[in-house]
């Protein structure tokens, strides 16, 4: 009779260990998936900010006949809103008739 209880207890213990291992593996997979999704979201957000800046610059060139020299001009006159706390934006205007170079990097 003691042997029967011991075998039963061993099976229960084995099931618990397997359940814990499965839970840990699932948690690790969830963490990696979450991290990948966050990286993709940041990249898409930075691309959206870059597109908004270029669209505002194109609108300015269409209305005024020249691309603006500064990003702040677009923010002041073309209702462009950039979250400078979350993104570092490099805006380089070579000439008034050449589209600016815009690089957006999440902070």
pLDDT digits (tens, 9 = 90+) for 40-92: 888 899 999 999 999 999 999 999 999 999 999 999 999 999 999 999 999 99
Question: Could you give the percent of the chain with pLDDT greater than 70?
Answer: 95
Q: How far apart are CA 46 and CA 89, in angstroms?
A: 9
What is the structure's pLDDT at 9? 83
Please name the residues in contact with 78: beta carbons below 8 A apart, sequence gap of 6 or more: 56, 59, 60
For residues 6-10, give the mean pLDDT.
81
H helices present in the chain, as ranges: 2-64, 71-77
pTM attached to this predicted model: 0.70
Return the closest-CA partner of residue 102 out of 62, 39, 60: 60
Looking at the structure of the chain, the number of domains it has is 1
Per-residue DSSP letter, 86: T
HSE-CB for 64 with a 13 A CA cutoff:
16
Residue span of the structural domain in which 91 resides: 2-106
Q: Which residues pair with 105 in a beta bridge?
A: 88
What would the mean pLDDT of 17-39 be, rounded to a whole number? 90
């Amino acid at each position: 009779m003691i042997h029967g209880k011991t075998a039963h207890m061993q099976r229960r213990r084995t099931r618990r260990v397997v359940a814990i291992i499965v839970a840990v593996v699932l948690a690790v997979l969830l963490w990696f998936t979450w991290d990948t999704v966050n990286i993709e979201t940041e990249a898409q957000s930075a691309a959206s900010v870059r597109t908004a800046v270029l669209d505002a610059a194109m609108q300015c060139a269409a209305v005024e006949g020249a691309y603006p020299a500064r990003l702040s001009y677009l923010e002041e006159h073309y209702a462009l809103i950039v979250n400078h706390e979350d993104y570092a934006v490099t805006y380089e205007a070579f000439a008034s008739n050449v589209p600016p170079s815009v690089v957006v990097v999440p902070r």
